[in-house]
Structure 1
Amino acid sequence: MKMHAAVVTSFDEAPHYLPFEVPEVGEGQVLLDVLAVGLHPRVRTGATGQHYTSSGTLPMIPGVDGVGRRPDGTAVYFVTDDDVIGTMAEKAVVDARRMIALPAGADVAKVAAAMNPAMSSWVALRRRVPIQPGQSVLILGATGNAGTMAAQVAKRLGAGRVVAAGRNTERLVAVPADAHVALGDGPDALAAAAAEVDIVLDYLWGKPAEAAIVALLTARSDRSRQLDWIQIGSMAGPTIELPSVALRSANFRLQGNGQGAVSPRAYLAELPALIDEIDAGSIAVTPRTVPLADVERVWNEPDVPGERLVLTPAGTGSISESAL
């Protein structure tokens, strides 16, 4: 049986809208009708074969999550761990343990748009370094959609102060934070605003993180007070040069948040509460829905602040669970 899907035939090209064999359903799996899939930066990276989970196998269907409909009509949010047969297709075969039923009336496009970018900070502040009420958070790379959502998530989880730092000054002022720092102003400006934070959510890595770590630790009034640095993304580069003295002269803990750093079971345990927050509007994002058939045309369109492209295999646009 055939379905239509976004199919990557070369890591140097955008996916093409092509017929593809419907995957076989194994034990404990469910065949879903896919309703909406977010076009996340993580998905683009996977489609180039450059993500650390990539097996390099072609052809492949990109997509790591989505909203679908079970055979009984229930709308669910689901994730997949298959880097070859992803979610940007009319149908997806999913482990029954990797799906969560949506609340009645949930906007499936909004859930598809928000879950992946919001999940990084939500899991980081709930599982990697559980935030304590009143603690302060620096978001390094706050002008991307995930970083902007991280400001909302941090506040929702009890942060007393949120500092947003980013390279795009126009986007930066729109981030819902207590203080804003343009990274172009240099590490001293960042240290002046954020030297006393408790937690850093780092979506950049590379040179910005390299400079920020040294600047913050040097300016900290009490270097023995713990600073937790959670590495999430690498938009500014895959590596840094870290002086050993940074680890010896301060109470500095560096760890990552991603696939492998947190177990699938722990991730899944966090999904229902995050879905409720998104459904209630506590974590805002605007989905821009386009038919899956247009995937090649929209694939390389730049992200718009506060907006996420969502592909709809049926071309139905924004729909709610209650309409299913």
Structure 2
Amino acid sequence: MHAAVVSSFDEPPRYAEFATPVPADGQVLVDMLAAGLHPRVRSGASGTHYTSDGRLPMIPGVDGVARLADGQRVYFVADDDVPGTMADKALLDPRRAVPLPEAADPAVIAAAMNPAMSSWVALRRRIAFQPGQSVLILGATGNAGQMAVQIARNLGAAHIVAAGRDPQRLDLLAGLGATTVVSLAGDPEQAASAVGEAAADVDAVIDYTWGEPAQLVIPAVLARRAERGKPLDWIQIGSMAGAEITLPSFVLRAANLRIMGSGQGSVTAAGIVAELPSLIDQLVAGTLTAAALPVPLAEVETAWTAPTEPGHRLVFTTSA
């Protein structure tokens, strides 16, 4: 088969021949239709993701849309120990797949499911988020952050504070459902103070940044809360600004802060898969929108590093 093949963590994948994987018990070989280039995929292809085992060559891709032998199209999340989904064919565990309705666009599903899943699962599986509550999305100008704004609105959030750096994408967030938009550009402490003022009494935080923004925003928010005992669920999902923070111990004692993660391991595979059908329904209905940029898999080497417009997600497609 042909695939996007990573032979060096320092170079983009190349379109090349690769041995067709052989299904183990409980797996089926499927024809790939589309696979999204998510930040999780990029970090895996560069060997920097926390699940990377350092083995090369490898095929990137963690999910996608495929066609089964009977013609049914499905969205699926790949097992961790199989070749990735950016190939003509891939291995699929039926327990990690859900059928797609006829109206589903494979490129849109491949583009949207991974970034949408992060906040959808966080708000539905990690905490008991209720309509009328409020949320801060830290790192809202990334694709996952933009989807998180839409998902918070869809789940009934009364107040959505969206904070991010990219000025072009910040301008888009009010139209997606953000009630307050805060720039993280400029002086970090001033930006954190502005976020603290806007998000003082939110119920939950979806954090895609970690690093310095989180380190500064956490005390800025807690210091301004009208009621320190009111729970604040801080859900750590991404680390665009750094993998570590320093947090004074008194911050945890002085307020009801509950820090947790949401991702592989903190939510079971079965729990994630259980959320997929309702998320797919939202995408097919157009309640949630995603700007997919489909590109033939054969062009992976040049497309991998090419710039894309704000809000768009690259999707590699095959002719299957």
TM band (smaller chain): over 0.9
2:139 counterpart residue number? 141
Contact in 2 for aligned 1:61/1:84 (Cα 8 Å): no
Alignment of 1:96-111 (within 5 A): 96-111=94-109
Contact in 1 for aligned 2:168/2:310 (Cα 8 Å): no
1:50 counterpart residue number? 48
1:295 aligns with 2:300: yes
Match of 2:202 among 194, 197, 203: 197
Which runs of no fewer than 5 residues in structure 1 stay unpaired? Answer: 317-324
Q: Kindly state the Cα deviation for residue 306 of structure 1 after the two structures are TM-superposed.
A: 2.3
Match of 1:87 among 85, 88, 97: 85
CA distance in 2: counterparts of 1:83 and 1:9, whole angstroms:
18
2:184 counterpart residue number? 183
- Post-superposition Cα deviations, 1:71-128, rounded to whole Å, max 9, x if no partner, equal 0000000111235510000000111111110012211111011000000000000000
CA distance in 1: counterparts of 2:37 and 2:82, whole angstroms:
16
Q: Normalising to structure 2: TM-score of the pair?
A: 0.96
Q: Kindly state the Cα deviation for residue 129 of structure 1 after the two structures are TM-superposed.
A: 1.0
CA distance in 2: counterparts of 1:267 and 1:103, whole angstroms:
19
1:273 aligns with 2:273: no
CA distance in 1: counterparts of 2:139 and 2:307, whole angstroms:
16
Q: Kindly state the Cα deviation for residue 303 of structure 1 after the two structures are TM-superposed.
A: 4.4
Indicate the SS of the match to 1:174. helix
- Post-superposition Cα deviations, 1:6-64, rounded to whole Å, max 9, x if no partner, equal 00001111001010011001211111100001111110000011101111111100000
Alignment of 1:220-231 (within 5 A): 220-231=225-236
Indicate the SS of the match to 2:258. strand
Letter in 1 for 2:100: L
- Post-superposition Cα deviations, 1:157-216, rounded to whole Å, max 9, x if no partner, equal 111110100111221121120000011352221111111110000000000000000100
1:67 counterpart residue number? 65
Contact in 2 for aligned 1:10/1:58 (Cα 8 Å): yes
- Post-superposition Cα deviations, 1:266-295, rounded to whole Å, max 9, x if no partner, equal 000000000111111111111111100000
CA distance in 1: counterparts of 2:79 and 2:247, whole angstroms:
32
Deviates more, 1:298-307 or 1:135-144: 298-307
Indicate the SS of the match to 2:141. coil
Match of 1:22 among 20, 23, 30: 20
Deviates more, 1:118-127 or 1:128-137: 128-137
CA distance in 2: counterparts of 1:304 and 1:234, whole angstroms:
22
Contact in 1 for aligned 2:169/2:311 (Cα 8 Å): no
CA distance in 2: counterparts of 1:92 and 1:49, whole angstroms:
21
CA distance in 1: counterparts of 2:193 and 2:239, whole angstroms:
22
Q: Kindly state the Cα deviation for residue 302 of structure 1 after the two structures are TM-superposed.
A: 3.6
- Post-superposition Cα deviations, 1:112-154, rounded to whole Å, max 9, x if no partner, equal 1100000000000000012111000000000011000100001
Contact in 1 for aligned 2:79/2:93 (Cα 8 Å): no
2:288 counterpart residue number? 283
Alignment of 1:179-258 (within 5 A): 179-184=180-185, 185-258=190-263
Match of 2:116 among 112, 115, 118: 118
Aligned Cα root-mean-square deviation (Å) = 1.1
1:129 counterpart residue number? 127
CA distance in 2: counterparts of 1:83 and 1:207, whole angstroms:
33
Contact in 1 for aligned 2:140/2:148 (Cα 8 Å): yes
Indicate the SS of the match to 1:230. strand
Q: Normalising to structure 1: TM-score of the pair?
A: 0.95
Contact in 1 for aligned 2:84/2:90 (Cα 8 Å): yes
CA distance in 1: counterparts of 2:236 and 2:308, whole angstroms:
22
CA distance in 2: counterparts of 1:20 and 1:270, whole angstroms:
33
Letter in 1 for 2:204: I
Indicate the SS of the match to 2:18. strand
